Amino acid sequence: MYEPSTSSEKSSEDQQRISDRGGALEAKLGHYLALTYSERDALRWLERRERTFEAGSIVIREGEETALLHIVASGWLHGSKQLPDGGRQILRFYFLGDLTSTFSIAWNVSAATLTAVSDCTLFELPRDALGRLFRDHPRLGGLLYAVSAAEQVAMAERLTSVGRTDALTRVSTLLLDIRAQLRVVDGENGSVFELPLTLQDLGDAVGLTNTHVSRTLKNLEERGLVERDGRIIRIVDVDELTRLVDYHDRLTHVATDWLP
Amino acid sequence: MYEPSTSSEKSSEDQQRISDRGGALEAKLGHYLALTYSERDALRWLERRERTFEAGSIVIREGEETALLHIVASGWLHGSKQLPDGGRQILRFYFLGDLTSTFSIAWNVSAATLTAVSDCTLFELPRDALGRLFRDHPRLGGLLYAVSAAEQVAMAERLTSVGRTDALTRVSTLLLDIRAQLRVVDGENGSVFELPLTLQDLGDAVGLTNTHVSRTLKNLEERGLVERDGRIIRIVDVDELTRLVDYHDRLTHVATDWLP
DNA sequence: CGCGTATTTGAAAGGGCTCAAACGTTGTGG
DNA sequence: CCACAACGTTTGAGCCCTTTCAAATACGCG
């Protein structure tokens, strides 16, 4: 059913010189903090083993033994948990510069399944490379800690949405969330974006069935809050929707004044 | 309604010499890793400003400006988010040795409300004390990062429970979760514990109404899975319930082999 | 003892689910 | 380039789990 694809060798426009991809993590962390030359260098050293995965393929499966972390160099992924009854919960999405350490740093097996949503390129690094980074660049360690905390708050926000709000709010916050993350990657592309997710995926992210996500999106369209054209989503009025569902962006700004 | 209590001065058996309370964080982290003398010393240095809060009082409110972190020295707290419609989501509980940095390290305001469930004692420390810890003791920084990752996975587990399982499973996993955390604190106290939470609290933690939590607990009793006597909870067969609801303890073991 | 707060229980409503079928879309192979 | 298969989406009807609303009961505490 699912085929973990290894190193696909497509010669499309995706094919670039490897060095062009470097600096994903550096770019993300540099967004929060002015990095020194040696810090930049250390971050680039993490990005040497590159690997590509095609859309739909699984990078690591929940419960699978692994000593590797990944940095997203291009594309889009999600982390999910499987339930005994066949259900699935999508926990979060990963974009350019994200470090997928959360689910594999604290154990020798992965605590979640990592799936490529679009074709994507990842840098693989051994766990202890991160240990060395903490040792040699404690300020980066602290920054990683802060970013991890911000991501945890983002997940807390999703938990709140899933636990205590109705379908319309849940789907809306997810759309706003994805848009906010994509905006960092793609720059200021406003309120239109491609959503390469099935209704099943969306439902698994917000705790609804695909059928009900369908109805909810229809509802959002009828209210004039969202427009759809195939996989293209347009949020008609971002500010209005943000207010309506009380959405909070937790990832754009992170305090770093407490770092040494 | 809620009264933030400052420094209550009760002279019950809780009243001990201050130095007796120290080492909460040290004890917790020492559980995962053999600490050096200087690391222990550094951790104790964080625990100097002690403050007590009585049950029900609020330590920090969501949105309130703060530059402080807290280490739990005794008692029991929870972190929660408020919704515009009056609803509330409890995000996690905090016990002895827990560091409440997640919601206040990445911004200058707290991202959640921190409430004392029982009477409790906290150590207050400024955020930049943690920055210095990362600088001077990078191995502890890495360990804090790993522990934070484990806690994030625990929250992911709750999200999965709330998003994709029925009431009985949600309540059961919460009980097992609380028991697992208390067990670390109180030692091997088996399957009986006091639960100083209202049904409203339980519901806010798992995304149910208090009425339905009541019915669900009754259901658990009727099935012979749980016994109740006032606030005392007894899980009849922990292993059986663990299997039944596919619960995973994420906090007891954390990999540290990757640290420098 | 009496009051406020938490719990329990009941009846009815509703939001979201299940099941099922029809309809689009995409990609592939003849 | 069409046909078909596979997959995703939409829509409908009925049901069920959880909520809502309300009232009664139990509990703790001054």
CA–CA gap between residue A177 and residue A167 (Å, rounded): 15
- The answer to whether the Cβ–Cβ distance between A153 and B102 falls below 8 Å is yes
> Which ranges of chain A have pLDDT less than 70?
1-21, 187-189
> Per the CB < 8 Å rule, is A149 touching B253?
no
CB contact under 8 A, A153 and B246: no
Q: Tell me if A83 and B164 make a contact (CB, 8 A cut-off).
A: yes
- Quick check: A131 contacting B, CB < 8 Å? yes
CB B135 within 8 A of CB A260: yes
3-class secondary-structure state, position B154: helix
pLDDT at B56: 94
Answer whether residue B27 shows pLDDT above 60. yes
- Position B186 confidence tier, pLDDT thresholds 50, 70, 90: confident
pLDDT score of B46: 96
Residue type, A86: G
Residues in chain B with CB shorter than 8 Å from the CB of A128 are 257-258
* Pairwise CB contact (< 8 Å): A162 & B107: no
At residue B10 the predicted structure's pLDDT band, cuts being 50, 70 and 90, is: very low
Check CB contact of B166 with chain A, cutoff 8 Å: no
Beta strands A226-229 and B68-74: pairing type?
A: unpaired
Q: Can you give the pLDDT at residue B240?
A: 96
Residue B96, H or E segment: none
pLDDT confidence of residue A7: 40
Residue numbers in A near B206 (CB within 8 A): 163
Q: What is the pLDDT of residues B105-148, one digit of tens each?
A: 999 999 999 999 999 999 999 999 999 999 999 999 999 999 99
CA of B117 to C1' of C2 (A): 27
Asked if B207 CB < 7 A from strand D, the reply is yes
User: Does pLDDT of B63 surpass 70?
Assistant: yes
Measured CA to CA, the distance from residue A123 to residue B239 in angstroms comes to: 40
Q: Which chain A residues are within 8 Å of B259, Cβ to Cβ?
A: 131, 134
- A228 CB inside 7 Å of strand D: yes
DSSP letters for A19-71: HHH--HHHHHHHTTSPPPHHHHHHHHHT--EEEEE-TT-EEE-TT-B--EEEE
Q: For residue B6, what pLDDT is reported?
A: 41
Taking chain B, what is the end-to-end CA distance rounded to the nearest angstrom? 49
- B91 pLDDT above the threshold of 50: yes
**Hey, is B74 helix, strand or coil?**
strand
Which of the 8 DSSP states describes residue A12? S
The DSSP line for A64-130 is -B--EEEEEEES-EEEEEE-TTS-EEEEEEE-TT-BTTTTTSSSSB-SSEEEESSSEEEEEEEHHHH
d(Cα B103, Cα B146) in Å, to the nearest integer?
A: 17
Query: Domains plus CATH for chain A?
Result: 18-136 (2.60.120.10), 156-245 (1.10.10.10)
* pLDDT reading at B149 higher than 50: yes
Sheet of B113-116, strands arranged across: B58-60, B113-116, B77-82, B88-94
C-beta within 7 A of nucleic chain C, residues 125-184 of A: 166-168
Nearest protein residue, CA measured to C1' of C6: B198
B28-35: list long-range contacts, CB under 8 Å, 24+ apart: B28/B96, B28/B97, B28/B98, B28/B184, B29/B97, B29/B140, B29/B143, B29/B144, B29/B147, B31/B184, B32/B143, B32/B146, B32/B147, B32/B254, B32/B256, B33/B139, B33/B143, B33/B256, B33/B259, B35/B140
- What residues of A are in contact with residue B163 (Cβ under 8 Å)? 89, 162, 206-207
Say if residue B4's pLDDT is above 50.
no
Q: List the end-to-end C-alpha distance of chain A, in Å, as a whole number.
A: 49
B29-44 confidence digits (pLDDT tens): 999 999 999 999 999 9
Cα A162 to the center of its chain, rounded Å: 18
Cβ of A86 near strand C (distance < 7 A): no
Whether the per-residue pLDDT at B7 is higher than 60: the answer is: no
Q: For residue A184, what is the DSSP state? A: H
